[in-house]
Amino acid sequence: MKNYRLHIGNKIVKFFALLLLSTFCSFTEHRQKHQANEYNLKAAFIYNFTRYIEWKASADENEFIIGVIGASPINNPLAEIVKTETVDNKKITIKQFNKAADINFCHILFISQKSSIPLDDILAQTAGKSILIISEQDGYAEQGTAFNFVVVNQKLKFEANVKAINAAGLTASSQLLKLAIIIK
């Protein structure tokens, strides 16, 4: 019993330590590597989401746009994926947004931890548009982003807000939702 509690405590400590570390940007070499790994995964997840999400088709589109808010380590791995992969035979482009007002149409909007724009502003800006909003901060899914990356048991998982997905007029495959932590 004692051991178990210790274990859990250990994990929580580790998790918070990780959060703290990332928040304060105090990277050691090891941490940098770990972070690079984490963002590689996140980039891959984002790309894989496209296979399980259905956007309303618009004929004149000839590119698939991924928007990123805030300067994030995800840019590099995303850029790597974009080089080789396509979505529905469409080229993928990455757009960087720095202000809420800048946000125009994109298929996926990734809100980095480093985003300084308040979430409400982003949500207000994107409301009613078919934009899949992905975040990586605790509690963001509850607040209205479609997916939110979390780390559970040292594994990357994602929360899904089905209401938010539906509100954006998107359809998420049940297979995808099965893997997600559903937020109501």
Cβ neighbours around 89 below 10 Å, total: 7
Q: Does 15 bind other proteins (CB under 8 A)?
A: no
Q: Least CB distance from residue 87 to other proteins, whole Å?
A: 10
Size of the chain, expressed as the number of residues it contains:
184
Kindly tell me which of 19 and 156 has the beta carbon lying closer to other proteins: 156
From CA 75, how far away is CA 96, in angstroms rounded?
9
The reply on whether position 110 binds other proteins by CB under 8 A is: no
3-state class (DSSP) for residue 169: coil
β-pair type (147-152, 132-135): parallel
Tell me the closest approach of the beta carbon of residue 178 to other proteins, in angstroms: 7
Number of residues that bind other proteins (CB under 8 A): 14
Residues 36-65 vs other proteins: string with x where CB under 8 A?
A: -----x---x--x--xx-------------
Of 174, 160, 168, 177, the C-alpha closest to 56 is: 168
Residue 128 beta carbon to other proteins: minimum distance, rounded to whole angstroms? 28
Q: State the binding string over 130-169 for other proteins (x if CB under 8 A, else -).
A: -------------------------xxxx-----------
* DSSP strand pairing (155-161 vs 147-152): antiparallel
In whole angstroms, what is the distance from residue 92 CA to residue 38 CA? Answer: 21
Binding residues vs other proteins (CB under 8 A): 41, 45, 48, 51-52, 155-158, 173, 175-176, 178-179
